[in-house]
Amino acid sequence: MQTLVVDHPLVTHKLTVLRDRETGSPTFRKLADELVTLLAYEATRDIRVEPVDIHTPVAATTGVRLASPLPLVVPILRAGLGMLDGMMRLLPTAEVGFLGMVRNEETLEATTYAERLPADLSGRQCYVLDPMLATGGTLAAAIDFLVQRGADHITAVCLLAAPEGVAALETALAHIDVPVTIVTAAVDEQLNEKGYIVPGLGDAGDRLYGVA
């Protein structure tokens, strides 16, 4: 597993405003959207393309287009939805699948309560959207799910990550034989006892949608 922290002043600037508790939901949604687009630029560096012949108004030339099968973008409900538009801005022809994951408070295991994905993901590059990589449980379960369906290349886009979550994900995915990259704006200091990222930005879902 590879972790890529996108080092760019605009990323840090937008993340700073997202972190600020004085930032209300409308601004938070807008900045999260913009930040995801910046992260998406880095997250798609390995996107598969194929050659294509075209004619400019002046001459024939060659270029590239997205390879088939088209990439699949998978927001994890609920907070991942707030990242979808920002990602699709750069990948308007990608397909979108949905995963609803919930953590069982007794076993602490993440289980899938809803899914709307192609049955066969063979040969697919998948872009998973989950704003906060905290304990890593949800993302590990989501990635496992996609790999079982046949996905052969996975990139998770997260606004923020905790070092504990990155380490847990690394362990949880050790058995997986598929390249996984985490792209994030920052790896913060730690998780607190309630599972929040510190300094973090609070509850991403609540800050996006204004309700608990």
**Residue numbers at the binding site for ligand URA (CB under 6 A):** 132, 134, 195-197, 200, 203-205
96 close to 78: Cβ distance less than 8 angstroms: no
Distance in Å, CB of 94 to ligand URA, minimum: 25
Q: Is 206 a catalytic residue?
A: yes
Q: Which is nearer to ligand URA, 126 or 134 (CB)?
A: 134
Task: DSSP for 95-163, please give it.
Answer: EE-EEEEEE-TTT--EEEEEEE--S--TT-EEEEE-SEESSSHHHHHHHHHHHHTT--EEEEEEEEE-H
Distance in Å, CB of 188 to ligand URA, minimum: 9
Q: Is 53 a catalytic residue?
A: no
d(CA 179, CA 156): 11
- Give me the phi and psi of 63, to 5 degrees please: -150, -155
* Residue whose tokens read 């590879």: 2
Q: Which is nearer to ligand URA, 151 or 162 (CB)?
A: 162
Out of 48, 103, 144, 152, the active site residue is 103
Q: Which is nearer to ligand URA, 83 or 121 (CB)?
A: 83
170 close to 181: Cβ distance less than 8 angstroms: no
Q: Is 188 a catalytic residue?
A: no
Q: Is 144 a catalytic residue?
A: no
Distance in Å, CB of 212 to ligand URA, minimum: 11
The residues annotated with a catalytic role in the active site are: 103, 107, 203, 206
